[in-house]
Amino acid sequence: QQPVQSPQAVILREGEDAVINCSSSKALYSVHWYRQKHGEAPVFLMILLKGGEQKGHEKISASFNEKKQQSSLYLTASQLSYSGTYFCGTGSNTGKLIFGQGTTLQVKP
Amino acid sequence: DTAVSQTPKYLVTQMGNDKSIKCEQNLGHDTMYWYKQDSKKFLKIMFSYNNKELIINETVPNRFSPKSPDKAHLNLHINSLELGDSAVYFCASSHLLAGGVHEQFFGPGTRLTVL
């Protein structure tokens, strides 16, 4: 079952914050976040394991709420380079990732 | 450079042809994958190999056949290409982290256009 991401699209000004949510109808084993720029490959951002852990990468962090079967990606003080499509993927012990439909983020000067 | 590489980057072909996409990783990973990304950016797993053994085989037409000659290579052969096969195909590889999760990295992609 594909996880659902919200919102579908976000437009920000440089320096503003954003939150992208990823919800699953199934119990989560792990959540993987990627950013993809137009015409490029998805780039790994971080992995979260069940246990409510929060991980950080530059000014991007994420949380994992096992009870709510949800993960959220937090982008603070956004930069132009943050523009792209963000995907969450729900993982399993086989490595299989099921990706959400993506959230397009546009950061304007 | 250590990375996941794919060839070719672009592939334009006629319906009915057979084509192959090659993937190589020099990251020392044990597991490799093929994903398909359609025009709506939906990214879907197709196959996965672990140490040359097929471990994930999603509902993909049997015109698609992956082959892993060794754990550093995973190729994708497509027979009788159809218009609907037009997409970007990504290869990925992963290694196992503590906690039993796979940290996965993607290749640059192959844009396949079927005319």
Q: Which helix (H) or strand (E) holds A41?
A: none
The alpha-carbon gap from B105 to the nearest alpha carbon of chain A, in Å, equals 6
Average pLDDT over residues A23-39: 92
The CA distance from A93 to B101, in Å, is: 6
* Structure tokens given for B89: 């195909």
Contact by Cβ (8 Å): A44, A105:
no
**Tally of domains in chain A:** 1
Determine the Cα–Cα distance for residues B28 and B15; give it in Å rounded to an integer: 36
Mean pLDDT, residues A39-52 taken together: 86
Query: Residue A96: phi, psi to the nearest 5?
Result: -65, 130
With a pLDDT cut of 90, the percent of chain A lying above it is 69
Tell me which of A82-86, B1-5, B53-57 is least confident.
B1-5
Domains, chain B, ordered by start: 4-114 (2.60.40.10)
Judge whether residue A33 has pLDDT over 80.
yes
Question: In which domain, by residue range, is A25 found?
Answer: 4-108
Q: Test A47 with B41 for CB contact under 8 angstroms.
A: no
Q: Which of A1, A96, A101 to substitute to test the interface with B, most B CBs within 10 Å?
A: A96
What are the pLDDT digits (tens) for B84-104? 999 999 999 998 887 778 889
Burial of B81: CB neighbours in 10 Å, binned 0-12, 13-18, 19+: buried
pLDDT of B59 reads 82
For residue B19, what pLDDT is reported? Answer: 98
Output the average pLDDT for chain A: 90
Span B1-14, mean pLDDT? Answer: 92
Q: Which of A21-25, A51-55, A67-71 has the lowest mean pLDDT?
A: A51-55
- Residue A13 is part of a domain; what is its CATH number? 2.60.40.10
Q: Which tokens is A34 given?
A: 């990627």
Size of interface A-B (CB pairs under 8 A): 60
What is the least distance, in Å, from the CA of A81 to any CA of chain B?
19
Residue A52 in this model has a pLDDT that exceeds 60? no
